[in-house]
A and B are shown apart, each in its own frame.
Chain A
C-alpha cells in the first residue's frame, strides 16, 4: 500500500520540544503562524519580534530572522525593521502583560502610524512567565497571585479590550479577535493570521490578531477545564469578531 504523508511539522518550525506547560495554547498559535508562513512562501523574508514573557523563546521554535525585544517594545522594534526593510514581512508576537500593560504606548502608536506590520496578541488574562500575576486583561473577579481575592474593579479597573480600543483609530487595516481554545476556533484563527500577513504583504497597513488563549498552570485548572473556562468567561468579555476589515 502506498503511504501518503498528510500531516507534518511546518517547514518553518524548528524540530524541538517547546518549553510551554501542558495545555498551554502558545504551541498551537506558534504552529498556525508557521503554517501560514509556509503557505505564503515567505520564510526567508519574514522577521519575528519576540516579547518578554512566556513567548520570549518564540525564536527557538520558528525558524525566521528574529529579534528579542525589551518588555513591551516589540512594536517599536518591528516598526523600525519594517521601515528599513520594506520587502520583509515583520510580525511581533506579544502577551497581554507585554502588549497591554508595559507596552501600551508602543502598540497604540504603531497602530496609529499604520505601520505595515502584523501584531499577534496572545490574551490569556494573566502573567504567565512571572507566575500568575494580574494582567490588564484579567477578568473582574478572576483570581491571580496579586489579586488573591479576585480582580476588584474599584482597585484595579476593568479588563482592557485591545481590539475595540485600537479599532477607534483610523490607520489600522485589519483588527480581529480569535481563539485557539478548541478546533472550531483554531481553524478561524489560522484564516485570520493568513489575512493579517496578506494585509501586510499587500501593503494595506497595520494588522492585529488577538488570540484568546489558555494558561492552565496559572489559572489553576486542568487543560480541558481551561478551554471551557475560556469559552464561558473570556468570550463574553472579549467577543470574537472582526473589528476592522482591510479594504
Chain B
C-alpha cells in the first residue's frame, strides 16, 4: 500500500485531478465544493498550471470549452445550481467532442434549494441537462478513496471518448475527511490531441476547427449518429457496478454514492438478524449497468431503491427490472439523509416483517 493522506473529500478530488495530469482549472465559487477551487488556486500556479476564477458558471464552462480545445487536461467543479448554469456549455462541449472533467458535488434543489448533500441531479447528469441528444459519462463514487480513483479514471475516459465526464459526488463526500491513497493509473493508448486540437496547425499542416453547428440537416444527422455510436461503445465497454451480498438475497437494495454506504451498514445489521438482503451499487450512472438487474438471481424477489431524491435512479432500475419483480423506492431530500434504521425499517416493511 502506498502513502495514505487524511484529506477532506473536496481536496482529495482536486489532488486526484492534479495526479491525473490536470494543470488547468476554471470555476466559480459555490457551496459545498469551494475547497476544490481553493485548493487548485494554490497548487496549480506552483506546477506551472492555470487557475482562473471565472465571472460566472457560464463563463467557467466556456473557458473549459476553450481550454479543452487545446487538448490538455482541464476540469471544472460546481454544485447543482452551478451545473444548471453550465448545462448549455456542456452541450456545446459534447457536440464539439471535447474531453474534460466536470465535478458536481450535489446539493439540494430545486432552485437555490439548500447547501446540504443531495442526489437530486441524477436526471440532469444522465439525461442531459443541456439541449440535444448528448450523453456524459457519469461516475458516482461512494467513498473519498473511490472519488480519487474515479477522478483519475475520468481524465482517461474523457480523452478516450473525447467526451465530457462527470464525477457525480454529493455534499457528504465533499465535506468529510478520509484516508486516501493516490494510485498511479495507466494512460497509454489515448488519442493524440495533435490530431484535432488547436495549437498544432504548423505541426499538422492544417487548421483545427472546434464546432457544433451543422446547418445541413443530413450532416447534423450524421454527426448525431456518430455521437450515438460513441455512446453505444461507452455502454458496451464502460459499465461499472458493485454487488454486495447479492447472491442469496431475497431483497436487493439499489443505491449509489453515499447512500450505498449507509445501505451497506443496514445490510450488515440486517444480515446479523438473518434477513437476506444485498446491495446493487451502480458506479457508472451513464452507462447505467442494466444487465445485472436484468439477470438477477432467482432468490431476489424484489428491489428497494434508496436515494437522496424523490425518485430518479429508480426509473433506470425499473427499466432494467421490468415487471418481473416489484421495485419500491425510499427517498429523503432537501439535505435530509436516509438513516441506517430507516433503511432497515423499509426492508422489513417490504418483506412484510
Contact = CB atoms under 8 A, between A and B. Distances in A.
B59 interface: yes
A80 B26 contact: yes
Contacts of B60: 76
Contacts of B24: 80, 83-84
B198 A85 contact: yes
B67 A67 contact: no
B245 to A, nearest CB: 47
A79 B198 contact: no
A81 B208 CA distance: 13
B63 A76 contact: yes
Given A73-B89, A88-B199, A79 B210 contact: no
B59 A65 contact: no
B349 interface: no
Contact of A81 (B92, B198, B213): B198
Contact of B59 (A44, A68, A73): A73
Interface string A140-179: 0000000000000000000000000000000000000000
Interface residues of B, number: 36
Interface residues of A, number: 30
Contact of B65 (A43, A47, A70, A88): A70
B70 A105 contact: no
A50 B198 CA distance: 14
Given A76-B54, A105-B55, A69 B62 contact: yes
A68 B201 contact: no
Nearest to B68: A80
Interface in A54-110: 56, 59, 63-70, 73, 76-81, 83-85, 88, 105-106, 108-109
A67 B69 contact: yes
A54 B346 CA distance: 59
B62 A65 contact: no
Given A59-B211, A84-B67, A65 B199 contact: yes
Given A44-B202, A65-B198, A85-B199, A105 B62 contact: no
Contact of A106 (B59, B201, B208): B59
A49 interface: yes
A77 B67 CA distance: 7
A11 interface: no
Contacts of B55: 105-106, 108-109
A83 B58 contact: no
Interface in B179-219: 198-202, 207-213
A105 B58 CA distance: 10
Contacts of A44: 201-202
Given A59-B209, A68-B210, A80-B52, A49 B199 contact: no
**B26, B198, B212: residue with the most chain A Cβ atoms closer than 10 Å:** B198
Nearest 4 A/B pairs, CB to CB: A80-B66, A77-B66, A73-B62, A68-B211
Interface of A: 43-45, 47, 49, 56, 59, 63-70, 73, 76-81, 83-85, 88, 105-106, 108-109
Interface of B: 24, 26, 50, 52, 54-56, 58-60, 62-67, 69-70, 72, 74, 88-89, 92, 96, 198-202, 207-213
Given A59-B209, A81-B70, 18 more contacts: A59-B211, A65-B201, A66-B209, A68-B209, A68-B210, A69-B65, A70-B62, A73-B59, A77-B63, A77-B69, A80-B26, A80-B65, A81-B67, A81-B198, A84-B66, A84-B72, A88-B199, A109-B59
6 contacts: A44-B201, A65-B208, A76-B59, A76-B63, A80-B64, A84-B66
